[in-house]
Amino acid sequence: MSDRNGNGSRLVLVTGGAGFIGSHLCEALVARGVRVRVLDDFSTGSAANLAAIRGQIEVIEGSLESPCAVGRAVTGATEVVHLAARSSVVESIGARELYERVNLAGTCTLFAAATAAKVRRVVFAASSSAYGDHAAPHDESMSPRPESPYAATKVEGERMVRELAQVGGVDAVALRFFNVYGTRQDPNSAYAAVIPRFFARIAAGQPVTVFSDGLQTRDFVHASDTARAVIAAIDAPKPLAGEVMNIGTGHATTILELARLIGAICGKAVQIEHQPPRKGEVRDSVATTGRAERLLGFRASIGLEAGLRTMV
């Protein structure tokens, strides 16, 4: 994205911009001279996440569940990146109603407003959890097998994206993020992602909990790479026509290997306590990356060890 591409007249609305991925994206957009507006209810995000760009972006505190706040946020936006969601597999199992209200009804409200405001494109944060127990690597041609209320809302969001592109008159794309990691991921939440949780405990000399045998795999993609993928989707010159595409690295890492790497980076011995597998969590997850390369020219560039070192 450059001024030659008309950044001066662009206004990108980032829902969930005060969250982990959102704050990385907002920083990357601001660095490119793009005007940014955030809609966030600060339920899991925080103003502190946006401290580096305070004063350079517009922030609307409000919920996706409020048509009034959503309408105000969308007015004048040229593109919308829809990241706001409840996003824990484990939490969703006991909170289906909350997940449907925020992730489904909220997305519906936003897409209706985007249609009315005639925005140019919507980029939706979908999830690798759509693949469920399909054997890895996970390819977009596989039929979705969501195994939790969270995953089910993300798959339904993809359907809404197709509908928006096909009948809503707004170009749209769903990016299935794999395991995104980087600074500003909260290690203290009950549903903390594995990397910040391991860093906090290993650095403090405490044992880490590994569910199952630790040989399950994940595709860890750095937040800066993820932000680059979103920007490539905003910028894509041709219509994306409701497509779904994976955003990952194509590399599988076991949880035990991850713990070993973090131990080495912290200079600490790693103690592991095994627990039974958690409900709703998939065994293996790794992306095929060809479609994002072909349609967005996107390829992840940050290796896991280098990416983990940005977090110390």
Ligand X SMILES: NC(=O)c1ccc[n+]([C@@H]2O[C@H](COP(=O)([O-])OP(=O)(O)OC[C@H]3O[C@@H](n4cnc5c(N)ncnc54)[C@H](O)[C@@H]3O)[C@@H](O)[C@H]2O)c1
Question: Mind telling me the catalytic residues?
Answer: 150
Which CB sits closer to ligand X, 131 or 168?
A: 131
Length of the chain, please? Answer: 312
Q: Specify whether the CB–CB gap between 127 and 176 falls below 8 A.
A: yes
Q: Write the DSSP string, 217-251.
A: EE-EEEHHHHHHHHHHHHH-SS--TTEEEEES-S-
User: Among 40-48, 235-243, 268-276, 298-306, which window interacts with ligand X (CB under 6 A)?
Assistant: 40-48
113, 180, 208, 302: which one binds ligand X (CB under 6 A): 180
Residue from 152, 6, 13, 26 nearest 89 by CA: 152
Q: Specify whether the CB–CB gap between 111 and 168 falls below 8 A.
A: yes
10, 14, 41, 252: which one binds ligand X (CB under 6 A): 41
CB of 133 to ligand X, least distance (A): 17
Which CB sits closer to ligand X, 124 or 259?
A: 124
- Give dist(CA 106, CA 260) in Å, integer: 40
Q: Does 198 sit near ligand X (CB under 6 A)?
A: no
CA atoms within 13 A on the CB side of 98: 11
CB of 4 to ligand X, least distance (A): 30
User: Among 43-51, 266-274, 283-291, 296-304, which window interacts with ligand X (CB under 6 A)?
Assistant: 43-51
Q: Does 87 sit near ligand X (CB under 6 A)?
A: yes
Which CB sits closer to ligand X, 127 or 288?
A: 127
Residue from 4, 34, 3 nearest 17 by CA: 34
Residues engaged in binding ligand X (CB under 6 A) = 16, 18-22, 39-45, 63-65, 83-87, 102, 106, 125, 127, 177, 179-180
